[in-house]
Amino acid sequence: MDARHAIGTSLSLTEHLRHHGPGPRPGPRLIEAVGEAGLTGRGGAGFPTAHKLRAVAEGGRRAVVVANGMESEPFSRKDQTLLALAPHLVLDGAVLAAEAVGADRIHLCLPATRTTQLHALTTTVAERRSAQLDSVPILVEAMPHGYVTSESTALVHWLNGGPARPTSAPPRTHERGVHGRPTLVQNVETLAHLALIARHGPHWFRQAGTAASPGTTLITVTGAVRHPGVLETEPGTRVSTLLQQAGGTDQPLQAVLLGGVAGTWLRTPFALDLPFSREGLAPHAAPGAGIIAALPHDACPLAETARILAYLAANGAQQCGPCRFGLPAVADDFSALADGHATPEQLDRLHRRIGLLPGRGACRHPDGAARLAASALTTFEADVDHHLTHGPCGRPTSLPVPAPTRTEHWT
């Protein structure tokens, strides 16, 4: 996306314009170009961006653009890194998207807790305003920070004056979002790619990546690697190569968690050979927002999973049954299993409870937790048996999982 990433300095507006040239004028062909480029969303679900642009553009009313810079996934750092190093690329993309869909404002949503980032982007936006760079106003929004406050309907709910809790769809945000208007919610990395496609064209974009997952992508590698952090890579690169690019490991790995806290555990060495792309990981896993968490051989995978489930349970919006009852019950059962206190009957109950989570909430939060829990029980079957018969294994945990503090502030 930019060579400067390698040395970690932020591009000022002057440097950005010198490096990338003046912002391209949005043509009527931009949506088509994004479609030809095959750009997919980098916020987790991988939805084709051109489909969303088209739906919002054809919404029949003045539209709104929401740039999702919340990055609530605890293992991810890519959006914070991108916003720190190439903020103008993201903002160029947001303005181009707004012009393409006929929007009259852009809300850049950031967590209120990241004060340095908020300050930096407020300054960046003001600098662009003074330079009269943007045809559409950009409003920097300081949103409540929590795992689900960054979900698209939660952003819209909050921008409409409500709590930042997900709401059930339909109507979908592209049909009726902010102030009832068609609303394009797009991850900030997606917008940066859009800005580059507008400048260099779809053919240029497709020179990287695979036919099904074109372009480059930002990923975060965390856990037992020497240099945890963010990489710009091509989809389809093998998991083992990405671990090497993150400095390699000091100790053998037993597994990787792919896709983040709502992702899937896979054992090594099987996982190491897989191409890290949506199609390359299917049907075993998905890249989510581009996360690889490396688990060393001496960590307890059940204790790691129990910590993540406790975090996810604490971070539900407590509106729907699965968030209020199902997810905390699964987290408790898993914790008992990791502590070596569970009985075979509890394990049966845990399997049943996990099966009841997906598809029942107004958003996908419980589905992600169920995926993680189910993958742990399958991938670490031998560890489950060991904990049932011999009690706790005493191995440590090592992943940077946040404390299970309940999201308190929704407004």
Ligand X SMILES: Cc1cc2nc3c(=O)[nH]c(=O)nc-3n(C[C@H](O)[C@H](O)[C@H](O)COP(=O)(O)O)c2cc1C
Query: Which residues contribute to the site for ligand X (CB under 6 A)?
Result: 41-45, 47, 68, 70-73, 147-148, 150-152, 185-187, 190, 363-365
Contacts of 214 (CB under 8 A, 6+ apart): 37, 38, 39, 205, 206, 208, 235
Cα angle at 338 between 333 and 343, to 5 degrees?
A: 55
Among ligand X, ligand SF4, none, partner that 41 touches (CB below 5 to 8 angstroms by kind): ligand X
Residue closer to ligand SF4 by CB (options 46, 163) is: 163
Residue closer to ligand SF4 by CB (options 43, 322) is: 322
DSSP secondary structure of 225-293:
SSS-EEEEE-TT-BHHHHHHHTT--SS-EEEEEESSTTSEEEETTGGGGSBSSHHHHTTT---TTTEEE
- Going by their DSSP bridges, the two strands 217-223 and 103-111 should be labelled as unpaired
Closest approach of ligand SF4 to the CB of residue 324, in Å? 7
Q: Is the dihedral of CA 54, 58, 59, 61 positive or negative?
A: positive
Build a one-symbol-per-residue string for 165-204: x at contacts with ligand SF4 by CB under 6 A, - elsewhere.
xx--------------------------------------
Q: Please, is 258 exposed, middle or buried when counting C-beta atoms within 10 Å of its C-beta (0-12, 13-18, 19+)?
A: buried
- Site for ligand SF4 contains 319 (CB under 6 A): yes
DSSP secondary structure of 176-191:
S-GGGS-EEEEEHHHH
Residue closer to ligand X by CB (options 99, 189) is: 189
Residue closer to ligand X by CB (options 157, 387) is: 157
Closest approach of ligand X to the CB of residue 48, in Å? 9
Q: Quick count: other Cβ atoms within 10 Å of Cβ 3?
A: 8
Instruction: Give residue number: closest CB to ligand X.
Output: 41
Build a one-symbol-per-residue string for 357-386: x at contacts with ligand SF4 by CB under 6 A, - elsewhere.
----xxx-xx--------------------
Residue closer to ligand SF4 by CB (options 16, 365) is: 365
Closest approach of ligand SF4 to the CB of residue 161, in Å? 18
In the complex, which residues of this chain contact ligand SF4 (CB under 6 A)? 148, 165-166, 316-320, 322-323, 361-363, 365-366
